[in-house]
Each structure stands twice: as structure tokens, then as C-alpha cells.
Chain A
Amino acid sequence: MSEKPKLHYFNGRGRMESIRWLLAAAGVEFEEEFLESREQYEMLLQDGALLFQQVPMVEIDGMKMVQTRAILSYIAGKYNLYEKDLKERAWIDMYVEGVRDLMDLIRVHHKLSPQEQQKNLALIGEKAATRYFPVYEKILKDHKDDFLVGNQLTWADVQLIEAILTVEEKVPTILSEFPLLQAFKARVSSIATIKKFLQPGSQRKLPTDEKAVAFTNRIFNRR
């Protein structure tokens, strides 16, 4: 009997957020155990629950999975968000990886000094508007389908909408030159499972702030 997946992470976005998005999009209920102290983290370590001593860790189907991409791949494969055809899978992988590169810029943003944050903001805006979003705009333009690959919702669409919304929090006008991405955003946001996830009270986490940074630094013992 499989229980709900159980997510181990701190109470914030970080590397776990994409996993929350994917489970939510797949309509899978999940539980969360938040790391609130260094002792908790060390207990997980001592229990041998963290294969490489790191979180995210997700208990799912009898496994204690680690490594964000491995977890995402498994969820996508299990819940039919990952095409079976090898070539369509290749496109999904390429699109996902591109989006994740962009998200990496945002993920570290709150760790930077205010000065560095200004520079990073400009970089995020530039890369989003010139390197990444034009690619997805063109994909939608070329095939005119509702979704990026295979004319059905896949991991690529979920990763993209997470990125769009996250970039918009930093650069609100970022989609001004991308009408098809605007339509994509509206369309995918209204898919029932995703709409639910976007509502207040869901397990979606708020953007990370300085308090959260100090807190996690203490848990993970970073200087």
C-alpha cells in the first residue's frame, strides 16, 4: 500500500519547490516534514536517510529519494508527465533543463548582498528576455499547440509556468514581449490541479527572504 509522498526540506521554496509543483500538477497529495533545527537535520543524517547527506529528500514508493532531478524524473515518469517516446522525452528534457538554468539564477538571489542582487536582477531579466523565453515563445508559435511537447501537459509545461511566475515576481513586465507565453500562462494556470496549487492555503511556498536565509544557514551550518 503506498502512502502519500513525504517531503523533507525546510519550510521554503529552495530546491524542493519544483517537486511540490510537479506533484501538485499531477494531482498527488503529499505531506511535508519541515527541518526547523540543526538537530532535526542531524537526526536525518544519523538515521542514514540522506544518501548523500543532503536534502531535498522525498519518501515515495518505499524509496528515500534524493537529488532533485532524480525525484522530478521519477514523478514525471510515474504520473504521465513525461512522454514515452524517446525523442519527445529528449525535447522535454531540453526544455526543462533550459528553464532550470534560468531558475538557478533566481534560486540564489536571496543569498546575495543588496548590491549583488541589483546586478542579479538585471541578469535574470536579460537572460529571461533574450535567452530563454524567446525559445519557448517560438516553440508555441511554431506548432500552435496548447502545450510544449506532444500536445499534452508534461513536466516541461509545469517547469515553465513555475519559472514564468517566479521571474514575474522579480521582473513583473517580463512577458510584455511574449504574447504566446502570456496565453500559455493563463491557460496552464487554469488547469484544475494547477489552479488549486495557485490558491492561497496550498502547499506552494512564498518567495524566500532574509529571515529564511539566516534560518537555513544555521540548519545547514553555512558561513
Chain B
Amino acid sequence: MSGKPKLHYFNGRGRMESIRWLLAAAGVEFDECFLETRDDLLKLQKSGTLLFQQVPMVEIDGMKMVQTRAIGNYIAAKYNLYGKDLKERALIDMYVEAIIDLDELLMMYALQPADKKEQYLANIVDKATNRYFPVYEKVLKDHGQDFLVGNQLSRADVQLLEALLMAEEYKSDILAKFPLLQSFKARISNVPTIKKFLQPGSQRKPPLQEKDLPKVMKIFNLGH
């Protein structure tokens, strides 16, 4: 009998957040096991449960899955968030991969030295508003449907909403020029499972605070 999926990561967004979003959107309850210290990670590595010695790791359906994309693919396919055929899948993949690129940019902000942060932020805003958001605005405009692909909720919608909300944390009016993305944001936020996830007390994680950065760097042995 399969129990709830169990997520192994530190208590923060990082690379696990999009997986939390997907599970939540699919209405799947999950447990979390947080790494608090470097020792926790080392123990996990020594136990042989991390295929490539890395987290995220998700215990699901008898597997100990690693690699964010692999986990995301599995959850999306299992819970019918991956389109109905190869071509819809292709569109979803294209949209999601670009969102992942944008997410990486956002994630790396916290690791920038203080004197580079302003420039980095400008780059994020530039890429978001000139490279990525116009594409999704146009997709929605061209087909006039509620969802990005196949007229039903897919992983692409979930990940786009996640990215839009994160981008707004960096610049609150970043969607000013994108009316369709604004209504998309409102609409998808209202999907019951997602609405629940957006409420306080859910397993959604807050942005990384400056004061928590040293702890995270230590766990992953970064910047030493």
C-alpha cells in the first residue's frame, strides 16, 4: 500500500518548491522530512538513498526519486497534468522548461554578492518582461482559453502561476503590461486545490530570508 509521498529537502523553497506546487495542485497530500544540518545531508548520502548524492528526493510509489525534472514529470503524468498526447506534452515541456530557466534566475538572486544584487535584479526583470512573460501573454491571447495547453489545467499552468507570484515578490508591478497574465493569475489561484495551497498554514514555503542563507549554504556546502 503506498503511503503519502515523502519529500526530503531543507525547510525552504529551492528546487523542491515546484514539486510541492504540483502535488498540491493535484490534490495530493504529502509529508516532509527537513534537512536541518549538514550532518542530516551526510547521513542521507551515506544511507545510499540518494541516487546521485543529491536532494530533492521524493519517496513515492515505492521509488526514491531524485532529479527535479524526473520527479515533476512523474507527478504530472500520474495526476493527469501532462496533456493528452505527445504534441500537447511537447508544448507543456517547452513552456515548463523556460519557466525553469526563469526560476533559476530568481533562485540565484539570494546568492549574489550585495554589490551585484541591483544589477542582477535588473537582469531578472528584463528577462521576465521581455523574454518570458510576452510569450505566455501571447499564448493566452492567441487561443483565448483559460489554460495554456489543451484547454485544461496542466503542469504548465501550475508552474507559470508559481513563477508569476515569485516574480511579483521581486517587483510587485512586474505584470503591469500583461493583462492576460493578470487574469490568468487570478483564475488559476482560484482553482480549489491551488487556492488551498496559497492559504497561510499550507506547505508552501516563504521566500528565503537573508538570515537563513548561512544555514542553507552550510547544509549544501556552498560558497566555502
Contact = CB atoms under 8 A, between A and B. Distances in A.
Given A93-B67, A93-B70, A132 B52 contact: yes
A98 B69 CA distance: 11
Contact of A86 (B52, B67, B74): B74
Interface residues on A, range: 20 to 34
12 contacts: A52-B98, A70-B93, A70-B97, A73-B89, A73-B90, A74-B86, A87-B61, A93-B67, A97-B70, A98-B67, A101-B52, A131-B52
Given A70-B94, A93-B67, 19 more contacts: A52-B98, A52-B101, A52-B135, A63-B87, A63-B90, A67-B93, A68-B97, A69-B69, A69-B97, A70-B96, A74-B86, A74-B93, A77-B86, A78-B86, A86-B74, A87-B63, A90-B73, A97-B67, A98-B66
Interface in B176-197: none
Contacts of A73: 89-90, 93
B77 interface: yes
A61 B88 CA distance: 13
A65 interface: yes
A34 to B, nearest CB: 23
A105 interface: no
Contacts of A131: 52-53
A89 interface: yes
* CB-CB nearest 3 A-B residue pairs: A93-B70, A70-B93, A97-B67
A135 B48 CA distance: 11
Interface string B63-82: 10111111001100110000
Nearest to B70: A93
A67 B73 CA distance: 15
Interface in A89-125: 89-90, 93-94, 96-98, 101
B84 interface: no
A24 interface: no
B218 interface: no
Contacts of A69: 69, 93, 97
A103 to B, nearest CB: 13
B34 to A, nearest CB: 23
A47 to B, nearest CB: 15
B87 A61 contact: yes
Nearest to B63: A90
A86 B78 contact: yes
B131 interface: yes
A87 to B, nearest CB: 7
Interface string B36-73: 00000000000000011100000001010111111001
Contact of A93 (B73, B87, B94, B132): B73
A51 interface: yes
B70 A90 contact: yes
Contacts of A101: 52
